[in-house]
Amino acid sequence: MTFVVDLGQSGSRIRTGEISINSTRGKLAGEHPLPALRAIFEEIEKLSVNTVALSCTGFGGQVTDPQPFLELCNKFFGANKVAVIDDGFAGFIGALAGSKGVVLSIGGGVVSVGGKDGKFAHRDGLGSTFGDEGGGFWLGKAGITKALGIRQGRGDDQILLDTFKNQVAAYDALDVKNAADAATLAIASAINLFIAADAGSPTAISIRNEGAFLLAQTIIATWLGTGGTADDDPEIAIQGGPSKNSAYVQGIQAAVLKVLPQAKFINARGDNLDGAAWIAENMPTDAAPLLRWASA
């Protein structure tokens, strides 16, 4: 039996057989995936499995030594085989089911993975300090930043300020303004940015448009990184929480089509859990640096 985990920034999911578990515990800002997984495993029921497939945010396309992950999974589940997978790669496999193309995953962060003829490319996944442009943290942080500025008289957008009223109050209540709680607040505030934009806030619309452009550039760079060209017709899937906003997705698609006019936008055929499960069953060897195995 395979135990499949999808570790994200805003929460985590686990699946094994008929058992599905959702956890609000994700990888905290600046945290390595290993202690985040340990914290999650300590909260769930004890199970016994042979193989564990771990789809993890936080690797930035460079999966680290899988041995400590094997030791962790052996301790909690008796596992003797572990696949450690960059979450973008798991998402790519799950969404396209082997087709050539690109999968853009937008959560608190951003990761884009593409594949063509066995060659893979990974873009962004650089973390909230220096990357993840257009992701949930980026959107929410920009919205709160502008709302705080408007409250101080640096700008005039009452729609934005009204929409972010509770988020500004939450910021005021933070004991430390730049710690993990602040990052969590930013990620949770992405939806308010979309609400403000849909309500006509010019500031929010500008942020949303910039985010869509940046994400389109990430998709394009990913496809070209596989050896693809502007004349190709890759399948492109956009998934994750922020992708539920239709205006955001339409903005991304329009910018992509200016460079990749033959691109085909599809709904993801599966998610990170599906991809990790498929990898565990069908890719028994490393695909470094995106997939590394460890065995007892």
Please give the share of the chain, as a percent, with pLDDT higher than 70: 100
| Cβ–Cβ < 8 Å for 78, 210 | no
Domain match, 226 and 167 both: yes
User: Helices (H) and strands (E) in the chain — how many of each?
Assistant: 11, 11
Which residues lie below 8 Å from residue 119, measured CB to CB, with a gap of 6+?
226, 227
Domain match, 135 and 229 both: yes
CATH number of the domain where residue 80 is located = 3.30.420.40
DSSP, res 184: H
Domain match, 140 and 211 both: yes
Q: How far apart are CA 11 and CA 187, in angstroms?
A: 11
DSSP, res 82: E
Domain match, 132 and 221 both: yes
- Report pTM: 0.82
Domain match, 132 and 40 both: no
Domain match, 178 and 41 both: no
Q: How confident is the model at residue 292 (pLDDT cuts 50, 70, 90)?
A: very high
Residue 234 preceded by cis peptide, ω within 30: no
| Cβ–Cβ < 8 Å for 219, 105 | no
Domain match, 117 and 235 both: yes
Domain match, 144 and 191 both: yes
Q: How confident is the model at residue 97 (pLDDT cuts 50, 70, 90)?
A: confident
**Cα four-point dihedral sign 271, 12, 78, 1:** negative
Q: Is the pLDDT of residue 69 over 90?
A: yes
Looking at residue 143, what is its pLDDT?
98
H/E segment holding residue 294: strand 291-295
Domain match, 108 and 199 both: yes
Tens of pLDDT, residue by residue over 149-167, are 999 999 999 999 999 999 9
Domain match, 82 and 112 both: no
Domain match, 82 and 117 both: no
DSSP state letters, 120-177:
EEEEE---TTT--TTSHHHHHHHHHHHHHHHHTTS---HHHHHHTHHHHHHHHH-SST
Tens of pLDDT, residue by residue over 169-199, are 999 999 999 888 999 999 999 999 999 999 9
Mean pLDDT of the chain: 94
Domain match, 81 and 128 both: no
| Domain membership of residue 257 as a residue range | 99-268
Tens of pLDDT, residue by residue over 119-134, are 899 999 888 889 999 9
Q: Is the pLDDT of residue 203 over 90?
A: yes
Count of structural domains, the chain: 2
